[in-house]
Amino acid sequence: MRLVFCEDSSKHKIKMCRSVPTVLCLLIAVHLAMSACPDIVSRSQWGASSPRKRTPMPSLPVPFVLIHHTYQPGFCNTSTSCERSMRGMQNYHKNDQKWDDIGYHFCIGGTGQVYEGRGWDVVGTHAPNYNSRSIGICFIGDYTNELPTAEMMEVAKSLIECGVERESIAANYTLLGHRQVRSTECPGNTLFNEIKTWPHWTDLETRPSACPEIVSRAEWGAAPAVSRQMLTSLPAPFVLVHHTVQPGACNTSDSCKTAMRSMQRNHQNIKHWNDIGYQFCIGGTGKVYEGRGWDVVGSHAPNYNSRSTGICFIGDYSTELPTPEMLNAAKSLIACGVELGSISADYKLLGHRQVRTTECPGGALYNEIQTWPHWEALSSST
Ligand SMILES: [Zn+2]
Ligand SMILES: [Zn+2]
């Protein structure tokens, strides 16, 4: 044991190792051998295709672990069938949903094997608001009426411990079921009741979230981003408010989705930006649409793109105000960003016109936001 440990170490450590008692070396070796990390079936082993891209987590360790079931594909209990399920999910997520890769970080098959999805320290696509601050673990199968096997549950717990050990997951992480953060049955009633008994599970009802329901990129039919750059320093100190002028106000889900797609086309194809410029937009019914999303650098205000969240109100608010639902949605969204650690608790709220020559966000909306908490009159030196 001592030899193996010492040979693996740097020259400096070999010296140290020789100078410490054998028993200490043995203890260290035993500790290494006792690592919680389960064997993981790698992407190449299950035949994954390459991801379109991989975005590193903006900050580590992440504070959340989210549990999912797949519902479809169903339970698999052989390597062959689980590997096929992984390929099927990846195919669906990349080609139908247009995501960069399979959505989850890891999946667990019926034999208690862990399959590498996106893997550690990469942003996932499994729960809006939480993608850049959580590890998403999926249980392959439908756990509405029955539990995963004991082996599956044990290995999930080991995987979480492993994440803590390698500092990918915070030691004081919060464990959640997917249904706690968006309206879905996932991870199924039976599995959800089970994880409530696991360490670190948290009841969000007793800690109400400010986060509004967000219409995801997939739901409005976004094209993939050309590239995505994460904010390098979180939380962001500024929130910037915009109006779109064009497209004009939208009052139905369909027309707002159309507005989002047209802005994205304009920003990508005419302006040659990587993606729609804003992090979020708000439609006439008070629905929030995901633009670039949390923690991603936007293109909405030079000098502020890498340190702000840009929120657009769809429509022209020069002479009239957005609807009360829209104004409330924006306030909830900002509170949500603070809650998630994406926006600084002492953020400064600005209208676009304060940072560049533009009428945006329109006279009426600009007067309105000056009454909001955190609005700040910028001196010319700021
Ligand atoms: Zn889910
Ligand atoms: Zn603007």
The pTM assigned to this predicted structure is 0.75
Q: How far is CA 142 from the centre of its chain?
A: 23
Q: How far apart are CA 331 and CA 355, in angstroms?
A: 21
pLDDT in tens, 9-30: 343 444 344 445 555 555 555 5
* Opening angle at CA 356, ends 351 and 359, nearest 5: 60
Average pLDDT over residues 376-382: 69
Ligand 2 centre to CA of 250 (Å) is 18
> Which among 316, 382, 325 has a CA at the least distance from the CA of 350?
382
Strand order in the sheet with 343-351: 214-215, 288-290, 280-282, 308-313, 236-243, 343-351
Residue 379 — φ and ψ, nearest 5°? -80, 160
Query: Tokens 């995505």 — which residue?
Result: 228
Residue 351 — φ and ψ, nearest 5°? -90, 150
Ligand 1 centre to CA of 322 (Å) is 33
CB of 201 closer than 8 Å to CB of 195: yes
Number of Cβ within a 10 Å radius of residue 360: 25
**What pLDDT sits at residue 22?**
57
Q: How far apart are CA 77 and CA 80, in angstroms?
A: 8
Note the ligand closest to the C-alpha atom of 127: 1
**What pLDDT sits at residue 30?**
54
Ligand 1 centre to CA of 183 (Å) is 10
pLDDT in tens, 77-92: 999 999 999 999 999 9
> Which among 354, 346, 353 has a CA at the least distance from the CA of 379?
354
**What pLDDT sits at residue 323?**
96
